[in-house]
Chains A and B, each alone.
With several copies, the nearest count.
Chain A
């Protein structure tokens, strides 16, 4: 079972992103679940969402405390929240950032793969709005290979239309995947 935690801000589609990952997994004949953290604060406050993937039905409905992968949809969140918390050995980190280098980050030793993408820029260029979820899904797919891009794109197109599929494609292309040894 893979566990994923997504960090975003309200309005970036953080929760939806998690659901799309699960959709892709399920369409491949696998399983998954996803849900937001149920907090109090709204608008403007950091949003967290959880995903579990597996090839058997997923039983726990708890929060994810030890993720195999963390996805950050908005660079600013990293100032407010410890996004690295609990990352498992050999885990994957997917960051929306203007940086192309991992030196700028305090990446914990348990992380094995880092994906960097300037998702905000891509979103602005493709969609005209800084909604980064569809872009960063591509980075996630590229970095982990846990789900099939075809299904991700299917769902993105169903939910948000073709422009977002473009954002996905561009995101996939421009994501830099770095393996840490």
Chain B
């Protein structure tokens, strides 16, 4: 499927009016995901922005044209596994999909996800990584970048504060779960995202995981119109590389010949405005080290 055809050749399955922030690229990602997956899909949206803005609905109305539900913050993968076991046993083919924030994925729901990955439950798990708990007002998550301001890693008047620890390298952790398909994606690269969702849909021998890097304009302090540009800079600087792992084989989907400095990405974002030059250098060094490892793994 061509990305450019999404708008004309696919059906919108999410309510056209949800109260996501103006310019939210998570909303875009969700719409793309559902347009590619199509109506034969059961969708889990755990507590988080997307649930909060109405995708699961309100009172007696639904926020989607497919079966949609709230799993708990801590059990999306397990609930999906149960649904899939039911349909598999009946021999009916259904996409059973989670669209979950990084909080639900990397922190509170990780154990269920890790278990489902190990057991080979045939679900599609998509994490939208906006680096924090946005629905509750932008607290830190395991996936928050080092140094970032969040409401639970505040910065004081002297500019001291921010998250002390590294961003959990979740795509790599999932890749090491030996699942048949793991990929990173980014809303600035819609075609790549479409390809990956299509691949995930084809997987029939285990769990498919897609990690979408989604700058949150509201939480991070990004101008709404720059929503996509900032996402793109994360790829162009190798900060959030695009790659996939099929049956253990790593492949880079984007290999910028002249990667931009991470600083270019960081500067667009208010949550990093207090960072010192050393802080930025450290993030650059980490990015380079991880990138090298990735290139190395992709060389096998």
Contact = CB atoms under 8 A, between A and B. Distances in A.
Q: Do chains A and B touch in the complex (CB under 8 A)?
A: yes
A1 interface: no
A103 interface: no
B267 interface: no
Q: What interface size band does chain B fall in?
A: under 10
A43 B52 CA distance: 11
Contacts of B58: 40
Nearest to A45: B19
A41 interface: yes
Interface in A29-50: 40-45
A64 to B, nearest CB: 24
B interface, over-half SS: loop
Interface string B14-46: 000001011000000000000000000000000
A42 B54 CA distance: 10
A53 B58 CA distance: 34
B259 to A, nearest CB: 35
Contacts of B21: 43
Contacts of B53: 42
Contacts, number: 10
Nearest to A42: B19
A41 B17 CA distance: 12
Contacts of A43: 19, 21-22
A43 B53 CA distance: 9
Interface in A129-153: none
Contacts of A42: 19, 52-53
Contacts of A45: 19
A63 B119 CA distance: 42
Nearest to B20: A43
A36 to B, nearest CB: 14
A17 to B, nearest CB: 20
Nearest to B58: A40
Nearest to A44: B19
Nearest to A40: B58
Nearest to B24: A43
A42 B51 CA distance: 13
A40 B53 CA distance: 9
Nearest to A10: B19
B141 to A, nearest CB: 20
A16 to B, nearest CB: 15
A44 B53 CA distance: 12
Nearest to B53: A42
B49 to A, nearest CB: 10
A43 B58 CA distance: 16
B98 to A, nearest CB: 23
Nearest to A43: B19
B48 to A, nearest CB: 14
Nearest to B21: A43
Contacts of A40: 58
A158 B245 CA distance: 51
A45 to B, nearest CB: 7
A176 to B, nearest CB: 34
A42 B24 CA distance: 14
A43 B135 CA distance: 12
B189 to A, nearest CB: 27
A26 B62 CA distance: 45
Nearest to B218: A43
Contacts of A44: 19
A40 B52 CA distance: 8
A67 B189 CA distance: 53
Contacts of B52: 42
A43 B49 CA distance: 12
Contacts of A41: 19
A155 B19 CA distance: 32
Q: Which 9 A-B pairs have the closest CB atoms?
A: A43-B19, A42-B19, A41-B19, A43-B21, A40-B58, A44-B19, A45-B19, A42-B52, A42-B53
Interface of B: 19, 21-22, 52-53, 58
Given A42-B52, A45-B19, 8 more contacts: A40-B58, A41-B19, A42-B19, A42-B53, A43-B19, A43-B21, A43-B22, A44-B19
Interface of A: 40-45
10 contacts: A40-B58, A41-B19, A42-B19, A42-B52, A42-B53, A43-B19, A43-B21, A43-B22, A44-B19, A45-B19
